[in-house]
Amino acid sequence: MKNYRTYLFDLDDTLLNFRETEKLSFKMTIDHMKITHDVNELFTYYKSENEKLWSAFEQGLVSKDDLKVRRFILLSEHFGLNIDAKKMSDYYVDTFPNAVVLLDGALDVLEAAKQRGQVGIITNGIEYIQHKRIEISGIKQFVDFVCVSEKCGYPKPDERFFQYTANHAKDFSKEHTIIIGDRYEADIFGGHNFGIDTCWYNHEGVGVERPIHTYEIRTLSELHKMILKGSK
C-alpha cells in the first residue's frame, strides 16, 4: 500500500463492532419494554429488516427519521407485539451509543494512519449518536474530522457526501486519499466513483462479480501491516 495523506474510515463494522453493539442494545431495549417473546427470534427479524431499511436510506428511498421508527413498527406487526414503536425506537437510540465494542486492531490501525497523515471518519448515521460512540470508544484521539450523513444531508455513496468530506479535510487530494470500509455499495462504489483509492474490509471473504476496489483485507491487522510497510 502506498503512503496516503488522508485516510477515510467507515465507522460501523470497520472500526466498531456494529453487530455486537446492535445485538446488545436490542436486548436491552427488549428487556426495558418487558417483551417476553424469544429475543433471538426477534433480533433475527429486526436485523434483516433494519439492513433493508439502511440500504433504502443509502439509495435515498427512506428518511432517517422514518427508518428509526419503521424498523420497530415492522417488528411489532410481524410478531403481534403490543408496543409503542416510537417509544421503543427512542429507547434503542438512547441506549445504542453506550454499547460500544471496538473491533480488534482498531486502535493500532488508527495510530499508524495518524502517523502518516490525517484521519477522517465518514459514516451514515445519526450525528449525535456517532459522535458519542467515537468519544466513548476511545478512538477520538486519532481522528482529525468526522462526517456524518445526517449533518451532510446526503448518505454514502452519494458523490455529494464525498465532496462534503473533501471540504472537511486539510489540503485534500484525491490522488493521496483512501477510504477503508466494509460496505461495497456505500464505501467502495462511493469512493471509486469519487475518484479515490479504496480498501474493502471483506469480513466474510465473499466475492464480487466486478471488483473495483484497490485493496482488500480480512482483518484490521492486515491493514495495519500494509500501512506500516507503506508500499504496494
Please list the active-site residues: 10
Q: How far is residue 204 from each of residues 24, 41, 58, 77, 102, measured CA to CA in Å? A: 22, 23, 22, 32, 18
Provide the edge-to-edge strand list for the sheet that holds 215-217: 145-148, 118-123, 6-9, 177-181, 197-201, 215-217
| DSSP state for residue 154 in the 8-state scheme | S
Cβ within 8 Å of residue 160, ≥6 positions away: 152, 153, 154
Neighbours of 33 (CB within 10 A): 16
**Cell for 152?**
451532510
Q: What is d(CA 211, CA 201) in angstroms, rounded to the nearest whole number?
A: 13
